Amino acid sequence: MALYSAQHLRQLRMIVTGGGTGGHTYPALTTITTLQSRMAEAGTTPELLWVGVADGLEAKIAERNRIPFKAITTGKLRRSPNPRELARNIADAFRIPLGIAQAALTVARTRPAVVLSTGGYVSVPIGLAARLFRVPYLLHEQTLTLGLANRILARVATRILLSHQASLDHLPPRARRRAVVTGNPVRPAVLQGDPTRGLTAYGLDPALPLVLVTGGASGAQQINRMLAGALRDLLPHCQIVHQCGSLNYAEMQQVADDLPPQLAPRYRVVDFIHDEMPDLLAAAAVVVARSGAGTVAELTALGKASVLVPYPVSAGDEQRITARHLAKEGAAVMLDGDQATPHQLRAVTTNLLTDSRLRTTMSQAAAAHGRPDAAVRVVTEILRVAAHH
* Percent of the chain scoring above 90 in pLDDT: 80
CATH fold, domain 13-186+372-387, is Rossmann fold (3.40.50)
The per-residue pLDDT for 1 is 42
Asked whether the predicted pLDDT for residue 381 surpasses 50, the reply is yes
Q: How far is CA 223 from CA 308, 335, 339, in A?
A: 10, 10, 12
| Mean pLDDT confidence for 242-269 | 96
189-369: CATH number:
3.40.50.2000
What are 365's strand-pairing partners?
A: none
> Is the model more confident about 284 or about 389?
284
Instruction: Give 294-342 pLDDT, tens digit per residue.
Output: 999 999 999 999 999 999 888 788 999 999 999 999 999 999 999 999 9
Instruction: Give 91-127 pLDDT, tens digit per residue.
Output: 566 667 888 899 999 999 999 999 999 998 889 999 9
* Distance, CA of 273 to CA of 190 (rounded, Å): 13
The per-residue pLDDT for 315 is 79
Task: Round the average pLDDT of the chain to a whole number and report it.
Answer: 92
- Collect all residues with Cβ–Cβ distance below 8 Å to 162 and sequence separation of at least 6: 141, 168, 179, 180, 181, 182
* Distance, CA of 190 to CA of 225 (rounded, Å): 27
* Percent of the chain scoring above 70 in pLDDT: 92
Instruction: Give 71-87 pLDDT, tens digit per residue.
Output: 998 766 555 556 666 56
The per-residue pLDDT for 91 is 58
Q: For the chain, where do the domains classified as CATH 3.40.50.2000 start and end?
A: 13-186+372-387, 189-369
* Distance, CA of 92 to CA of 259 (rounded, Å): 51
Give the pLDDT band of residue 383 (cuts 50, 70, 90).
very high
